[in-house]
Structure 1
Amino acid sequence: MKTIFLALALFATGAHAAANPDATPCDGVDEDKQTIECSVYSRDSAEKLLKENFQNVLARVDVQFGANKVQAKEFTDKLTVAQEAWKKLRDADCAVEVFPAKPGTKEFNIGQNDCLARTSDERSEYLDSIAQSE
């Protein structure tokens, strides 16, 4: 019986998603009752944007420094080191933020995902502001 209900739920979810390709797992989620699926989606979306904004700033640096390849490489190297250091800080801060929740629990996973999403969004905004043409 549980299998039938699960199959119907999956079918209904898939049909809804097919009917609305812009739908996300966060659609209709009540603020007081967030789901793990929404937190995973938010984390993944934020990390994708972070990666895109990092690549965009690297492209802007190439354009801005143009002929001065040495300076462009130096800037890019510094930015890459800063990004790796930031990731370590983000991960450490998120570990503190979700403490003392037990790893693997729903509370831990949602808290971790939300922290990663929020801080990645903040970093994306920062990266988007670097090497902007005046």
Structure 2
Amino acid sequence: MKSIFLALALIATGAQAAEEADNNPCDAVENDVQTLECSTYSKNTAEQLLKDNFQGLLERMKTQYANNKAQLADITGKLQTAEQLWMKSRDADCAIAAFPAAVGSKTYTMDLNDCLASKSDERSEFLESIGQE
């Protein structure tokens, strides 16, 4: 049964990825405007994946601790606190990474977006690895 859900999830993900690939502004980037659009797209895509992986982790915890509400509440609270603290740290680190450029400039925005995307992707992988059976 679990493998059926996994197969369906992979099919859905593949279809969504194929659809998104058609609308990917990172293909054939030729100028600064397109580079900015690509960095925004990458950041938004990475942040959505991060959100999805966090929700997936919460769902795994609900399944694993379904019979122990106290443990479920404890781990859920810890996960939510950790995620909020991680986001503050990510945002602070990325503000430093983009610092040499003037706030609001294209360069600053692209550097910030690239940092946020990279750190969000790393966090997504980490969250995805937790609670796997």
Q: Normalising by structure 1, what TM-score?
A: 0.79
2:91·2:116 contact (CA, 8 Å) conserved in 1? Answer: yes
Name the structure with the higher helix share: 2
Matches of 1:81 and 1:108, distance apart in 2: 29
Stretches of structure 1 that go unaligned for 5 or more consecutive residues are 1-19
Q: 1:97: Cα distance to partner?
A: 0.6
Q: 1:22: Cα distance to partner?
A: 1.6
Matches of 1:21 and 1:43, distance apart in 2: 15
Residue 126 of structure 2: aligned partner: 126
Residue 108 of structure 1: aligned partner: 108
Indicate how the Cα distance of structure 1 residues 62 and 101 shifts in structure 2: closer, same or farther if over 3 A, else same: same
- Give runs of aligned pairs for residues 11-50 of structure 1, distance below 5 A: 22-29=22-29, 35-50=35-50
Indicate how the Cα distance of structure 1 residues 130 and 21 shifts in structure 2: closer, same or farther if over 3 A, else same: closer
Residue 83 of structure 2: aligned partner: 83
Q: 1:29: Cα distance to partner?
A: 2.3
Percentage of identical aligned residues: 52
Matches of 2:65 and 2:22, distance apart in 1: 39
Q: Normalising by structure 2, what TM-score?
A: 0.80
Kindly indicate whether residue 95 of structure 2 is the aligned counterpart of residue 95 of structure 1.
yes
Letter in 2 for 1:38: C
Matches of 1:85 and 1:21, distance apart in 2: 32
Stretches of structure 2 that go unaligned for 5 or more consecutive residues are 1-19
Q: Where in structure 1 do 4 or more consecutive aligned residues deviate above 2 Å?
A: none
Q: 1:28: Cα distance to partner?
A: 1.4
- Give runs of aligned pairs for residues 63-78 of structure 1, distance below 5 A: 63-78=63-78
Residues 95-117 of structure 1, C-alpha deviations (whole Å, 9 max, x = no match): 11111211110100000000000
Matches of 2:53 and 2:108, distance apart in 1: 28
Q: How many residues align?
A: 113
Q: Which has the larger radius of gyration?
A: 1
Matches of 1:21 and 1:129, distance apart in 2: 25
Matches of 1:127 and 1:99, distance apart in 2: 28
Letter in 2 for 1:25: P
Residues 74-111 of structure 1, C-alpha deviations (whole Å, 9 max, x = no match): 00000000000000000000011111211110100000
